[in-house]
Amino acid sequence: VVAVRGLERYSGENAEVDVADDGTLRRIVLTDDPAARVLVRSQEGTEVPVEATGAGPLVVDLDTVGAGFRLDGPARIESEDGRLVITAEGSLAGTRAADGTQLTVAARRAVRAEQGERRLSTEALDAVFLADDVGTVRIVSNGPTRMSGPDDNGRLTTVDVAGELELFARGEQWEIPIARGVRVDAVGGDQRFRATAGLLRDLDWGDRTFRAEGGVSWVGVFGEGDARTARLLPDGSAVLTGESGAPARFYVRPGLLAADAAPDIESASFAALEIELRETGDAARIDARGEVIASVDGILEDYDLDSDGAIFEVFPPDATGRQPFALSAQVVRRVRLIAPEEVT
């Protein structure tokens, strides 16, 4: 059985038809291999076919403007190019906009979205299929959601979201304008880190960049810190930002994410208006700027300083296996060096 209405096509091996008293069709219920195919068309003429299949039944509500259907799960929906596939154990409910430019789908219970090696899982989401050259899909969820997969350089990243999430799948790229209650785990490549924040903005999955706000915490290979805001830059550097009276802080604690990271220090701490971190596996650079308070407890010497800026570097291990460090400062107001039996 096939039912066609404009840019919509519904099919199944069997059908039940609900007819109003005036003879107009109100509803069609399709069973046994039911399928829905809706053509989304932009105002410029770009067409994107979207297809849904599942266990059914497939209920087509003819009283709804545009495409109104509900497909019981397990079910899946995807655009014809197959870039993004959404599956749901509960149901898929779709409504096409009156002008035909988009299809909104509500997916419920054990929902997954997959695109290549990237995955998203949640209990409920709304997806908007748009008609453009890259097959954009806008996904919105509001509840526990997990995303995982490699960036453009193959580095694995996992993002857990407790609250609101908005994601755009544009061709092969994932972009996240906003996410609330977030934890990011980057476990692939040299720049390994774990970050949590109340709010995440402008996450580009391809180059693994984002902005974080609200109670930011950061754990890297060489230590951990906290800040009011943070930015992850395209080169892998992280910038932690604070303010007067509530500076950004970073504590050097070797071996948190890499057991082989062992510079010649016992600990170090930095507080500043801005702290830029660059960690690359066995080396690190900390660039603290503005109202800097730093303390370094070395194996041989200890340093305390108050300055406008400070740079702390941990170098790769030398031939003896030692991992030396260097500390420099700009516009120093106070400095103290504590060596065995000597204080300067």
**223, 253 Cβ separation under 8 angstroms:** yes
Burial of 222 (0-12, 13-18, 19+ CB in 10 A): buried
Dihedral pair phi/psi, residue 234, rounded to 5°: -60, -30
**What distance in Å separates the CA atoms of residue 58 and residue 93, rounded to the nearest whole number?**
10
Q: Choose among 296, 309, 227, 243: nearest CA to 265.
A: 296
What pLDDT, on the 0 to 100 scale, is given for residue 64? 59
**What distance in Å separates the CA atoms of residue 294 and residue 322, rounded to the nearest whole number?**
23
Instruction: Tell me the pLDDT tens digit for each residue of 276-322.
Output: 999 876 778 999 999 999 998 877 778 899 999 999 988 877 777 67
Instruction: Tell me the pLDDT tens digit for each residue of 82-132.
Output: 689 999 999 999 998 888 889 999 999 999 999 989 999 999 999 999 988
Instruction: Tell me the pLDDT tens digit for each residue of 120-165.
Output: 999 999 999 998 877 899 999 999 999 999 998 888 999 999 999 9
